[in-house]
Amino acid sequence: MLFEPLPLKNFVIPNRIVVSPMCQYTAEHGYANSWHLAHLGQFAIGRAGAVIQEATAVRPEGRISYGDMGLWEDGQIEPLREITAFIKSQGSIPGIQLAHAGRKASTDKPWIGKNQFKPNEEHGWQTVAPSPIPYYPNEHAPKELTIAEIKDLVQAFQDAARRAVLAGFQIIELHAAHGYLIHQFLSPLCNFRTDEYGGSFDNRIRFLEEIVRSVKAVLGDSHSLWVRISATDWAAGGWDENQSIELVKRLQSLGVEVMDISSGGAVREQRINVGPGYQVPFATAIKKSTGIVTGAVGLITNAGQAQEILEQGAADFVLIGRSFLRNPHLVLQWAKDLDVPIAWPVQYERAKAQ
Ligand code: FNR
């Protein structure tokens, strides 16, 4: 089943193994460069069904670090065109994750250090969030967003989606997981607002619903709208599976086609039970309750495990992160492991028999 096509409304993903978005912290002023072309291109050469580009900020202040990619200005479109064209030339589907890091923005590149810069430091800026509470203890507090600023960010997501379409991406994924801005609105552990964007479930999901509506309006016939959520905060009183299911029903009615189910990231008090495929049960619960096309992600590391997830109907496809960094041609390897004959790039065929 891993190698069966996944038909969506407007296009078909050639198999069910998708590259999960992974930040490279290697852009300058948000612009893609040859690293991103080589990095994303290698997965398409290796026959990944779709390749989702890393969290790409809709505003400069929405970057996790100053090395994040961005789509807040038109100039950033052109270098991405080369990447999407190459991915398509290999028969794969190019996707992009649009993001805003909210209170978790303004950090250093992870290999340098994880500290958050203060607004007045080089590489730092004032962060924003639904409520003025920092994620990192002793770090600077985010500025609480005004209603006008919230509306402006909804517009920023739409503008970035329009640019993503011009850049040639077919999958537009909204990053509503891992404790970044949209998730900060969803979670009662981060959102203490008393206006129409906080408090009740309806109010906490409003920001995401508004983004979905405005992004959907600029997508055309060759696109698909996906949303990644954290299905649980792994913390008492936080966002959880039941709220996720309710949210997905709403998103489905607004035209979201695919859910990508992750978990955690909202608060430092989280207690995660990590293990092989530990997030798959959340994907299954959401798929079964809503019927939406659902991807499972997280510690899915071998072909047999991935195959079993699909055979059991636990998810419709898998997203793979770190295993692709270890082996960008993982799909070719997994086809060999499962003894499924798939077409290799002709340039690599002499290695197929080995
Ligand atoms: C990530 N992850 C991630 N997730 C996301 O939604 N947007 C992102 O930009 C990133 N960036 C990122 C960078 C790096 C280097 C890693 C390793 C991970 C999480 C990733 O997409 C995936 O959900 C997790 O890594 C779990 O899957 P694996 O790695 O166990 O297959």
Domains of the chain, by residue range, sit at 6-351
Residue 70 pLDDT > 80, yes or no? Answer: yes
Over residues 23-33, the pLDDT tens digits come to 999 999 999 99
User: Ligand 1, closest atom to CA 54?
Assistant: 9
Residue 114 pLDDT > 90, yes or no? Answer: no
pLDDT at 312: 98
For 289, counting Cβ atoms within 10 Å of its Cβ (0-12 exposed, 13-18 middle, 19+ buried), the class is: middle
CA 171 to chain centre: 11
Over residues 298-330, the pLDDT tens digits come to 999 999 999 999 999 999 999 999 999 999 999
Question: Percent of the chain scored above 70 by pLDDT?
Answer: 99
Mean pLDDT (whole number) for 59-71: 98
Distance, CA of 127 to CA of 144 (rounded, Å): 9
- Strand locations in the chain (E): 6-7, 12-13, 17-19, 50-57, 69-70, 93-99, 128-129, 143-144, 171-176, 224-230, 258-262, 293-297, 317-320
Question: Percent of the chain scored above 90 by pLDDT?
Answer: 96
Give the CATH H-level superfamily of domain 6-351: Aldolase class I (3.20.20.70)
Mean pLDDT (whole number) for 207-231: 97
pLDDT class for 137, splitting at 50, 70, 90? confident
pLDDT at 353: 81
Inter-helix orientation angle 206-216/241-253, to 10°: 30
Distance, CA of 70 to CA of 63 (rounded, Å): 8
- Does the C-beta of 320 come closer than 6 Å to ligand 1? yes
pLDDT at 115: 84
Q: How far is the CA of 21 from the centre of ligand 1 (A)?
A: 6
- Does the C-beta of 167 come closer than 6 Å to ligand 1? no
Closest CA to 295 of 319, 313, 321: 319
- Does the C-beta of 262 come closer than 6 Å to ligand 1? yes
Residue from 17, 18, 19, 20 to probe ligand 1 pocket by mutation (most atoms less than 8 Å from CB)? 20
pTM over 0.90? The answer is yes
Distance, CA of 304 to CA of 325 (rounded, Å): 19
Mean pLDDT (whole number) for 65-83: 98
CB burial string 47-67: b at 16+ within 10 A, e below: bbbbbbbbbbbbbebbbbbbb
pLDDT at 283: 98
- Does the C-beta of 277 come closer than 6 Å to ligand 1? no
Mean pLDDT (whole number) for 132-158: 94
Distance, CA of 281 to CA of 291 (rounded, Å): 15
Residue showing tokens 């580009």: 53
Over residues 223-267, the pLDDT tens digits come to 999 999 999 999 999 999 999 999 999 999 999 999 999 999 999
Residue showing tokens 């055979």: 311
In contact, 160 and 98? CB cutoff 8 Å: yes
- Does the C-beta of 21 come closer than 6 Å to ligand 1? yes
pLDDT at 138: 78
pLDDT at 140: 84
Residue 354 pLDDT > 80, yes or no? Answer: no
User: Ligand 1, closest atom to CA 97?
Assistant: 7
Residue 14 pLDDT > 80, yes or no? Answer: yes
Taking CA atoms only, the protein residue closest to ligand 1 atom 26 is 298
- Does the C-beta of 57 come closer than 6 Å to ligand 1? no
In contact, 47 and 344? CB cutoff 8 Å: yes
pLDDT at 130: 98
Q: How far is the CA of 319 from the centre of ligand 1 (A)?
A: 9
- Does the C-beta of 91 come closer than 6 Å to ligand 1? no
Residue 190 pLDDT > 90, yes or no? Answer: yes
Taking CA atoms only, the protein residue closest to ligand 1 atom 25 is 321
Predicted complex ipTM: 0.99
